[in-house]
Amino acid sequence: MSYAGKKVLVTGGLGFIGSNLAIRLAEEGAEVVIVDSSVAGCGANLHNIAPVRDRVRLIPAAVCEMGSLGEALARTEVIFNLAGEISHTHSMEFPERDLQINAVAQLQFLLACRQYARGRRIVYAGTRQVYGAPEYLPVDESHPVNPIDFNGVHKAAATTYHLLMSRSGDLDAVVLRLTNVYGPRMALNIPCQGFLSNFLRRLLLGQTVEIYGDGNQLRDPMFVDDAVEAFLRAGEAQPLPARIYNVGGPEALSLAEVASLAVAAAGAPGPVYRPFPEHQKAIDIGSYYTDWTRIQRELGWVPQMRFAEGIRRTIEYYRRELPHYLASAADPTCDLPEHIGFRRRLRYHAL
């Protein structure tokens, strides 16, 4: 792979995975344009791109603001599309907000891509959440799509937009269905974005890690550097053997094991177990881990970072950069009162 000199665009590039990807691309010599509107609750943080701030161009716009993006899209060779909301809880509380961010805005962005960057490669950050509660393990790409929350429904719709427009020849899209990604630059000050950010936030604040249920649910956490590598390979593959790839971690661990490894890395007391809150229990998928043999076979990608080492590196990063990630997070809630203002601001973009 070589991105030196390539013109690339990263939507959601101030967020967790997007910023790590933008940094890697800039370090490899790519001309990087970041598009990010910094919508509250979606994880944007200007500090995330501090190592390469003078080497990237930032467009502070939503992906549906076509007038702001035409010139940048026309110059772009590869598009990495990571804009969106990831919170399953927020999607259930504010489904219209999730619809606007994860479906409507995505469709409008793809229409802009069709107009200004027709036929270009787009790598979309999908999610394993579209599968819902697994019918079998590990979950491969043939598993039925049956989401159990609005986030999964809207991300599945956005996936379909990418695939439909690729079949028509308007785009050249590939979808990566990611499992639980962790690592430096996660938005720890935003609640309801998954158990890993919750574990880390509590550890770094000196609070006890809490596990809902018995802790036997399986997950395959993936270090962000491995996720970035998958995006890079998907952006370069010629020809593209498939349109959808599952991307997950190297090992299936129970939540109890994940918590134990995290508290050990932080030198903190062990976790405590709590009953499942009703609003969480309704959208819990049970155990999940990924079959990533397709991307291994076709693109040569294999996850490298085991959780014990990855969580150690993650905690080291946050201990150095803590003030940039935990401001006003001592007692977070899942409320997003600003969703009404967001809806009003985007109304004129709606179809």
pLDDT at position 195: 87
Tokens of 87: 């919170």
pLDDT at position 41: 79
Tokens of 96: 């219209």
pLDDT at position 189: 83
Q: What is the pLDDT along the chain (351 residues), one digit of tens a residue?
A: 689 999 999 999 999 999 999 999 999 999 999 999 988 878 899 999 999 999 999 999 999 887 789 999 999 999 999 999 988 788 889 999 999 999 999 999 999 999 999 999 999 999 999 999 999 999 999 999 999 999 999 999 999 999 999 999 999 999 999 999 999 999 988 767 778 999 999 999 999 999 988 999 999 999 999 999 999 999 999 989 999 999 999 999 999 999 999 999 999 999 999 987 776 777 788 999 999 999 999 999 999 999 999 999 999 999 999 999 976 444 444 555 443 344 434 332 322
- Model-level pTM? 0.92
User: Is 211 a domain residue?
Assistant: yes
User: Is 339 a domain residue?
Assistant: no
User: Is 343 a domain residue?
Assistant: no
Q: Which is nearest to 288 in space by CA: 158, 177, 185, 138? A: 138
User: Is 88 a domain residue?
Assistant: yes
Neighbour tally for 212: CB within 10 Å: 17
Domain harbouring 150, CATH code: 3.40.50.720
The β-bridge partners of 34 are 10, 58
User: Is 347 a domain residue?
Assistant: no
User: Is 152 a domain residue?
Assistant: yes
User: Is 311 a domain residue?
Assistant: yes
Give the separation between CA 283 and CA 239, rounded to whole angstroms: 38
Give the separation between CA 272 and CA 56, rounded to whole angstroms: 43
The β-bridge partners of 124 are 81, 175
Q: Give the number of domains in the chain.
A: 1
The residue segments making up the domain with residue 292 are 7-334
Residue 178 contacts residue 220 (beta carbons within 8 Å)? no
Residue 80 contacts residue 10 (beta carbons within 8 Å)? yes
- Classify residue 194 as left (phi > 0), alpha (psi -120 to 50) or beta: left
User: Is 277 a domain residue?
Assistant: yes
pLDDT at position 342: 40
